Amino acid sequence: MFDRLHSILPLRVRNQLDAYGEMLGLMREIKDPRVLKALGPSGLRGLLLKRGKQGEPTKFQASHRAYFDWTYPSDHPEMRDLYDRAKEGQWNGATDLDWKTSVDPLNPEVPLLPADWFNFDHLREMGVRLNKAEEQKLLHSICAWMLSQFLHGEQGALMAAAQVTEAVQFFDGKFYGATQVVDEGRHVEVFHRYLDTKLNKLYQINDNLFVIIDALMEDSRWDMKFLGMQIMVEGLALGAFGTLYQMTSEPLLKHLLKMVILDEARHVHYGVLALREHITTELTESERREREDWSFEVALLMRNRFMAYEVYEEWFEGSISRAQWREFVSVAPGMERFRHVMFSRLVPNLREIGLLSDRVRSRYDEVGLMKYFDGVAADEISGEQMIASLDAGARSGTAVSADSARQAAVTAA
């Protein structure tokens, strides 16, 4: 009965119901009331009010405490070491990349993304026929969409890195954090320049990404900002950058991603260092559980909900339903590869900082993420080793696996 009623509704109404259904589904799947309290208001602002898409600046109310120490202690040698490496690893986004490279996003000889990123037969089964040039154009759109989300995520990282530098209690962490702020500023610079001058396209922020950034900006607890930005967003971004690095044939984009990956590997490493001790020794068991539940929900949010609806609205609204688009995107070979690499980076880091106890493993297992449990955490692999394993994976035609990353780490050590 409901299905019949549903099928006679206009597509626009069905799509609206689908969007509300997704939002309610998100709220319903959150089991821990504290997590709901932390994410709920951000969910309303992002998903319902679509605050990121109003065409005006967003002002978040930060509420953390800035932590000063007038004795300037040497309190964390590993962070100090990361700081030294970060100073050595600085690069100039304006001069170290060859911006004179001419980029034609529609040139099939130098594709931004491989043609098998999408399964276009799947789209034909839904009644949408694209010719070769249109397929190429859709790949250009999806690439611009991903890079736009990277850019918005980088703006989030810039602000979060600045907040965390204020809030953190390790003095060596503040030194390190100062370099991360510079890194993130540079990432915003290069992604924006690439989109603006090479792809000539910029998509608005995805609502789910807005929810995560909103939640991090307003949470007063420094470790939640760390967990959200340094572990979850950066960990996933690192996986996403790695997949795109492996798959693109466009030389400027490849070089840009390589440089960003080298920086990001340090950022995630810092997140693991700062949180490992804090979570295992300073939090109560109840506080640790809250963070464990929070990271599971955010992992799901990222796994299930980055569906490029902004591309759907531009291309297919009116021809296929939002639900059909979701089905097409979620099984696209490129997206599956993306998810694989992202979670092979993220899950070991969660394990390493003590947020994958027996209590939640069955939940990770249910959604197919436990297979990444034994992978290499960020403190065991440098950016250079990561690039080496991505190159090795690209040569053998496979996505980077935990094993190949470990092998690269062992070889390079």
Query: Using CB under 5 A as the criterion, which residues of the chain lie in contact with Fe ion when the complex forms?
Result: 154, 157, 184, 187, 234, 264, 267
Nearest distance in Å: CB 340, Fe ion: 21
Residue in the structure block whose two tokens are 């880091």: 349
Residue 97 DSSP code: S
Dihedral of CA 89/199/188/155: which sign? negative
Q: Furthest-apart CA pair in the chain: how many Å?
A: 71
Minimum CB distance to Fe ion, residue 154 (Å)? 5
Nearer to Fe ion, 138 or 259 (CB): 259
Sequential DSSP letters for 172-209: HHHHHHHHHHHHHHHHHHHHHHHIIIII---PPPPHHH
118 vs 245, which CB is nearer to Fe ion? 245
When the beta carbons of 154 and 297 are compared against Fe ion, the nearer one is 154
CA dihedral of residues 343, 347, 348, 349 (deg, nearest 10): 110
Based on CB atoms, which residue is closest to Fe ion, 86 or 335?
86
The Cα 387–Cα 190 span in angstroms is 19
Residue closer to Fe ion (CB basis): 23 or 260: 260
> How many whole angstroms separate alpha carbon 64 and alpha carbon 227?
15
- Cβ proximity to Fe ion, 145 vs 226, nearer residue: 226
State in angstroms the smallest separation of the CB of 248 from Fe ion: 18
Amino acid letter, 104 = D
Can you say how many angstroms the Cα of residue 264 is from the centroid of all Cα atoms in its chain? 11
DSSP 3-state assignment of 103? coil
Residue 161 CB, shortest distance to Fe ion, in Å, is: 7
In the chain, what is the straight-line distance between the N-terminal and C-terminal CA atoms, in Å?
Answer: 63
- Report in angstroms how near the CB of residue 257 gets to Fe ion at its nearest: 11
User: Residue ranges of the alpha helices (H) in 248-401?
Assistant: 251-277, 285-305, 309-315, 322-330, 333-352, 358-366, 383-396
Give the shortest CB-180-to-Fe ion separation in angstroms: 6
Shorter beta-carbon distance to Fe ion: residue 192 or 361: 192
Provide, rounded to whole angstroms, the least separation between the CB of residue 107 and Fe ion: 28
